[in-house]
Structure 1
Amino acid sequence: MLQHLIRALLVLTALASVGAAAARADETTAETFDRGPFWFRSVTAEGDHVTGLRPFWDAVRDDEGQLISASVLYPLWHREVAPAAEVSRWSFFNLINYERNDATGTTRFDAWPFYFSRQTDTDSSDDYRAVFPIYGDVPQRFGQDRLNWVFFPLYGRFEKNGAVTTTTPWPFIKTITGEGHRGFEVWPLGGHRESTMHESAESFALWPLYYRKRTGPADNPTSLQTGFLPLYALDRSPGYRSETYLWPFFGYVDRTEPYQYHARHYFWPLWVQGRGDDRYVNRWAPFYSHSIRRGYDKTWVMWPLWRQATWHDANLQHERRQFLYFLYHSTVQTSLHNPDAAPARKTHLWPFFSSWDNGAGRKQVQAFSPVEVFFPHNERVRRLWTPLFNVYRYNRDDSEDVVEHSVLWNLIKWSRRPGERAHRVSLLGPLLRLRTAPGEKSFTLFGDQLGLEYDDGLRARTPFTSSSSTASP
């Protein structure tokens, strides 16, 4: 009788699942795959508490309830708080950015590319408000010591390392002044600038056909870059010399310090042959390319179809294989201290599935997986977006002897504990749970607080009593 009852319940549950919403599933760090599609809660390895509603928002708080970060439709808007450093910031798509440092009393606000500001609680010469392209006077930003503009590109002024470049308008007419600096340029016709402070000079004519840049005395420069393209180009400095003839057809590189390296190129950068200290290049792009540089070994075949790279850090040997960058992406990590240990693997076949194997008995597979390959180190994307595509998930943890399968965001879930030789099935979240083991069969209908339960007999459960009636099967 029990078998017929279970079969009937399975049929009814399957029919009901057509219009059912996915049930909420809480998250834990121990079960990273046990995630519902929308509402979730979890605890990170650091002990922080995470709550959210995918993909709309999430919040991370420490064990004292202090907000650490939050987001709304990430990466549309997100906020970060560092209580120890007294810094808080928020960003709207990384275009509108706000940052407040209570320790220094400094506030920054940017709305790219139109508005930039920095204000302190006390007057400061570094404070500014700038509206692009109308007016701006901005110190210590955009790679400049100071930057000014009025109706840019009609007028701009750049200060860096004592040199002041005034352009009216940019980039055509430039005047260079400052202590030890002088020059004048009319781009692209010609120009010249020099610095007695840094003992350097630059010139060009009919850019980019002729150029010359030197450091050191004019009659015997320590380094020199010059060329009259496409006929000839020279780049030399102490221990280094490179020449190109009929650019980009023929050329060579000869380096003697701080390391040895010699290369010849034809149609640079397509065909290059180079050898040296811990360096190797054999490039016949786009057909084949193999290079080694400081232990980073990289091979391309029919660029950009196939790429393979190996490298190592202090503890791990890494090997990566890619087909069209992201359509197939596989990474294997092997321990250098324990070569006999099983390697860790991560594989993406975009957008169909992603699989993880930590080499220590933890394996995970998800289908579909369209975002994971693009944000491998972004935990917020993984938390808010990856589970939304969780049509199927597989989780195996040998340390706890657990195997789990879930379909349609845990709507249907099957788990097995080999040590107990027991199988558990849940349908529509808590609606129906089945458990089978040698000599044992049981089910729960409509949850633990309200519904029916069968173990050694059929019981009705209510919020007030766990066994109001019992019937023989």
Structure 2
Amino acid sequence: MFSRHLIRLASASLLLAFVPARGDESNLWPFFVRHTDPTTGTATAEGLGPLLFARARPGEEQQGLRPVYMTTRTAEVTEGNILYPFFTWRQQADYRTFSFFQLVNTRADTTDAAHPDHRFDVWPFYFSRQTDDPALNYRALFPLVGEIRQRFGRDRLSFVVFPLYLQTEKGGRQVTHAPWPFLRFIAGDGHTGFGFWPLYGQSARAGDYEHRFWLWPLGFKSVTNLADPEPEVKLGLLPFYSRDTGPGYIRENYAWPFFGYTHRTAPYRYDERRYLWPLLVQGRGDDRVVNRWAPLYTHSVIKGTDKTWLLWPLYRHQRWDADGVAQEKNQVLFFLWWSLEQRSLAHPAAAPAHKTHLWPLFSSWDNGAGQRQVQALSPLEVFFPGNPTVRQLWTPLFALYRYDRKSADTVRHALLWNAVTWQRTATTREFHLGPLASVQTDTRQQRLALGSGLIGLRRKPGERTWRLFLFDFPTAAASKADQATTP
């Protein structure tokens, strides 16, 4: 706990202890680098190379020690982790969670103060829930004894010295195993059944369904929707034959699963032939086509999604529309080369957005509206595309080079974890070689400095001569003075 607070204090100090006086960056690499995004006002800081970090933007603060620890705070929520994904937590006024690799989990929900809800799990051994409703409370010590309610897709599960006894209930249907999985008894709400797995089993409910199996999984027959004019029937004598029938379709397999066909007339039309499945498949129907000659070539169009494989798994191409966006994805060996292009269906002439990974060399992003990013190296982004925690904790550790373009006028380059940086905006230019040398140009002055301001030269607009300065370090006081006296 002490170490966590120490890291928090040290990372927060990155944003508070130093304020860039001239320009948008202070660079004392590798001890400290602070940068302010001129377009968004987001302040980021790093210390000890990329290890210690902090970021502040309107409504949110982040800080941590890569890849060990990170916290994210907003006005309502605090989230944190240690050795992600092992230790994670979330705190807000009326809701708290903690998890160790999803194996040890706690949750306290006091959203309704009159009805608090507390849960604690130690997978797969202990499960508990405590509320003011006795019908929802439970404690279970697996495999010895216990009862679990409203979880795992069941209304209730109870067991005693599992697998000697297990009972599940859902929608009034009770299934008792004694012992699991060999003996099974079904009862409740019109359901009846018995099973001696894997030799024989049956279950039924009048007007609803009938199921049977023998020598599972070799023989089975299942009839559902008995009240309908044409029930759904599944029959199998594996590996010789299987058949599925229902309203508007039939599917048969011979020498299962290698040869077969499907004929469907409702709710859509579709016909398919299978030879040495899954290698050779031919299908045609409403809004769907399948041509599979695996592993050489596969092309399918299903509900508007167009997918092509060449020399599986060498190359994959996919096109589809979703949420008003036309999307096109290309992959070589799944992740070695990965690219995604997105175009607006409402504005087809607009520039597309791109995301590309050449693993593990680089990743690039382009939002189509003038913002671009490139990073080299990038070994993790292709595997965790939607994980902001990995992006903050792990991705910067590999950032030998980063390119960040906010607009045509605002561009920043960073080399070797900000050891060398160069940035330009519409009104400023900045170059930093760590704390050794810097060049800054803006509307107020041109400035060349060594030792982060130990000695240098500067001149104001309209002046021809350079003026020598000594010990002009970037401090908050100096920054305010400059702004107050500069016309």
TM range (shorter): 0.7 to 0.9
Q: Aligned pair 1:433/2:438, yes or no?
A: yes
1:26–1:42 Cα contact (<8 Å) kept: no
Distance 1:224 1:211 in 2: 10
Aligned-pair identity (%): 45
Displacement of 1:343 = 0.8
Structure 1 residues 32 and 384: CA distance shift in structure 2, 3 A: farther
Distance 2:364 2:386 in 1: 15
Q: Which 5+ residue runs of structure 1 have no aligned equivalent? A: 1-19, 467-473
2:198 is matched with: 188
TM-score, length-scaled by structure 1: 0.85
1:412 is matched with: 420
Alignment of 1:198-347 (within 5 A): 199-217=208-226, 222-347=231-356
Alignment of 1:9-408 (within 5 A): 21-26=30-35, 30=40, 36=46, 37-44=50-57, 47-63=59-75, 66-83=76-93, 86-102=94-110, 103=112, 104-120=115-131, 122-196=132-206, 199-217=208-226, 222-399=231-408, 401-408=409-416
1:453 is matched with: 456
SS in 1 for 2:34: coil
| 1:137-157 deviation line (CA, Å, top 9, x unaligned) | 111111111111122122211
Q: Which moved more, 1:219-228 or 1:405-414?
A: 219-228
1:346 alignment partner AA: K
2:157–2:167 Cα contact (<8 Å) kept: yes
2:211–2:223 Cα contact (<8 Å) kept: yes
Q: Which moved more, 1:384-393 or 1:456-465?
A: 456-465
2:191–2:204 Cα contact (<8 Å) kept: yes
Displacement of 1:453 = 2.8
Q: Which 5+ residue runs of structure 2 have no aligned equivalent? A: 1-28, 459-465, 479-487
1:38 alignment partner AA: L
Displacement of 1:403 = 2.8
Displacement of 1:268 = 2.4
1:48 alignment partner AA: E
SS in 2 for 1:251: strand
1:33–1:395 Cα contact (<8 Å) kept: no
Q: Which moved more, 1:322-331 or 1:457-466?
A: 457-466
TM-score, length-scaled by structure 2: 0.82
1:24–1:39 Cα contact (<8 Å) kept: no
Distance 1:185 1:101 in 2: 41
Structure 1 residues 193 and 367: CA distance shift in structure 2, 3 A: same
| 1:396-431 deviation line (CA, Å, top 9, x unaligned) | 2334x13322111101112345x56x7532122x44
Distance 1:350 1:112 in 2: 35
Distance 2:343 2:418 in 1: 33
Q: Pick the aligned partner of 1:424 from 416, 426, 430.
A: 430
1:62 alignment partner AA: T
1:454 alignment partner AA: L
Distance 2:133 2:265 in 1: 53
Structure 1 residues 367 and 22: CA distance shift in structure 2, 3 A: farther
1:22–1:411 Cα contact (<8 Å) kept: no
2:299–2:309 Cα contact (<8 Å) kept: yes
| 1:307-352 deviation line (CA, Å, top 9, x unaligned) | 1111112321111111121111100011111111111111011111
Structure 1 residues 32 and 337: CA distance shift in structure 2, 3 A: farther
Structure 1 residues 31 and 75: CA distance shift in structure 2, 3 A: farther
| 1:173-208 deviation line (CA, Å, top 9, x unaligned) | 212222312221111111111122x52111111112
Distance 2:332 2:45 in 1: 30
2:34–2:43 Cα contact (<8 Å) kept: no
2:118 alignment partner AA: T
Structure 1 residues 287 and 136: CA distance shift in structure 2, 3 A: farther
Structure 1 residues 31 and 255: CA distance shift in structure 2, 3 A: farther
2:44–2:56 Cα contact (<8 Å) kept: no
The alignment yields a C-alpha RMSD, in angstroms, of 2.8
Structure 1 residues 364 and 34: CA distance shift in structure 2, 3 A: farther
2:173 alignment partner AA: A
1:248–1:266 Cα contact (<8 Å) kept: no
Distance 1:245 1:462 in 2: 85
1:24–1:38 Cα contact (<8 Å) kept: no
SS in 2 for 1:377: coil
Distance 1:32 1:212 in 2: 63
| 1:68-90 deviation line (CA, Å, top 9, x unaligned) | 3122222222222354xx32212
Displacement of 1:389 = 0.9
SS in 2 for 1:247: coil
1:70 alignment partner AA: G
2:484 is matched with: none
Distance 1:135 1:215 in 2: 35
1:442 alignment partner AA: R
